[in-house]
Amino acid sequence: MTTPSPLSPPRRVLMGPGPSDVDPRVLAAMALPTIGHLDPEFIRIMDEVKSMLRALLGTENDLTMPMSGTGSAGMETLFANLVERGDRVVVGVNGVFGLRMAEVATRYGAWVERVEKPWGEAFTPDDFAHVQGPIKLLAVVHAETSTGVLQPLDGLRGVADRLDALLAIDCVTSLGGLPVELDRHGVDAAYSGTQKCLSAPPGLAPISLSSRAFDAVLARRESVSNWYLDLSLINKYWTDSGGGRSYHHTAPINNIYALHEACRIALEEGLDARAERHRRLGAKLTSGLAELGLSLPVPEALRLPQLAVVEVPEGVDDRAARSRLLTEHGLEIGGGLGAFAGKRWRIGLMGSACTEENVALCLGAIAEVI
């Protein structure tokens, strides 16, 4: 074969539901020299990443680290480790990612009870009032990227306590855009991703487990059926339990450099300032979209600031319009997922992509294609 030319990907503005624009500082960090996964300097970098993730997640949990793989690997990690065959798991399902959690938990042998809500709504603690304990795990999605709905976490710890359950959340889209505050909400287990509001490339899934949740992993009757994601093994690489670090699999070194820089950027800005930027520009984008006559199906109080969801306007061809945005304006927005395919647009304002210029670019481009 003839060798293909070197890559020159087009410049895009990434305002879909992820990946988001990667900060040039993060791309530069990724290009630093690869070193060994047991190099003392790399171990120092790992420790810094763990501390920064704790700060971003609002937790003191020792077991806080990035798993190798995208956000979905975080989801898989949580259920692979915490579910044993026959455990009862309750999942709040009000969108695609809740459905996926139920599916993954089922694959690991859980008896899954779905508590359902229409897509576009959030759960209140009362929605779980009919569930009888004890159960192993109660799981909800903090920021449901398929619907643009924010799930308030207040009161869910009380529900989990009544059911004698661990409380787990998906914070893939919230981390870095909204306060997550695991400890304040009594969350036992959480997973996230790097490619949404942290604005690092896809490839890592930060996770955090309370000591109670990790004790449950260590006390399993059978070993975790997924060897690659087994926290009892991988934790021996990410922490020093006396005998140094032991090899499990080769860490994706340069992805971890990228995450290190992305965490530094988020902490330099400050979590409050970062949340405020997402809130302010999110509100500006949604009011601009409304002025264009687009309808916003999510009630204002439940809207994710980092992801505006609008109905595809009557008479507009979803695919053709998004393809014009991409080719004529270099702008990527997302289409609908699952039941919302063809019916919704999902416009992200995540991390580095959340700027005044992008709000203006997006409103101008959408005005043109509709």
Query: How many residues of this chain bind ligand PLP (CB under 6 A)?
Result: 15
- Binding string, residues 23-62; x marks residues near ligand PLP by CB under 6 A: ----------------------------------------
Which residue from 21, 170, 188, 332 is in contact with ligand PLP, where contact means CB under 6 A? 170
Q: 65 is written with which tokens?
A: 């680290």
Q: Which residues of 85-97 are buried (b: 16+ CB within 10 A; e: fewer)?
A: eebbbbbbbbbbb
Kindly tell me which residue out of 38, 48, 72, 316 binds ligand PLP, with binding defined by CB under 6 A. 72
Whole-angstrom distance, CA of residue 358 vs CA of residue 349: 8
In whole angstroms, how far apart are CA 158 and each of 121, 154, 201, 213, 351? 21, 9, 36, 17, 32
Tokens of 24: 């040039």
361 vs 333: CA distance, rounded Å? 12
Q: Which of 152, 202, 252, 297 forms a contact with ligand PLP (CB under 6 A)? A: 202
Q: Is the Cβ of residue 73 or residue 285 nearer to ligand PLP in the bound state?
A: 73
Measured at CB, which residue is nearest to ligand PLP?
Answer: 71
3-state secondary structure (DSSP) of residue 64: strand
Of 141, 224, 312, 353, which lies in the binding site for ligand PLP, with binding defined by CB under 6 A? 141
Q: Which is nearer to ligand PLP, 142 or 329 (CB)?
A: 142
330 contacts ligand PLP (rule: CB under 6 A)? no
| 199 near ligand PLP, rule: CB under 6 A | no
Q: From the list 77, 145, 208, 306, which residue makes contact with ligand PLP (rule: CB under 6 A)?
A: 145
CB of 151 to ligand PLP, least distance (A): 10
**20, 173, 199, 208: which one binds ligand PLP (CB under 6 A):** 173
- Name the residue nearer to ligand PLP (CB basis): 64 or 145: 145
Binding segment (CB under 6 A) for ligand PLP, from list 170-178, 207-215, 221-229, 362-370 = 170-178
Q: What 3-state DSSP class applies to 254?
A: helix
Q: How many other C-beta atoms are found inside a 10 Å radius of the C-beta of residue 259?
A: 26
Binding range to ligand PLP, per CB under 6 A, among 5-13, 150-158, 165-173, 257-265 = 165-173
Extended strands (E) in the chain: 13-14, 63-68, 88-93, 111-116, 137-141, 143-144, 149-150, 166-170, 189-191, 204-209, 307-311, 331-332, 334-335, 344-348
Radius of gyration of the chain (CA): 21
Tokens of 234: 């991988």
Q: Using CB under 6 A as the criterion, which residues of the chain lie in contact with ligand PLP when the complex forms?
A: 18, 70-72, 75, 97, 141, 143, 145, 170, 172-173, 193, 195, 202
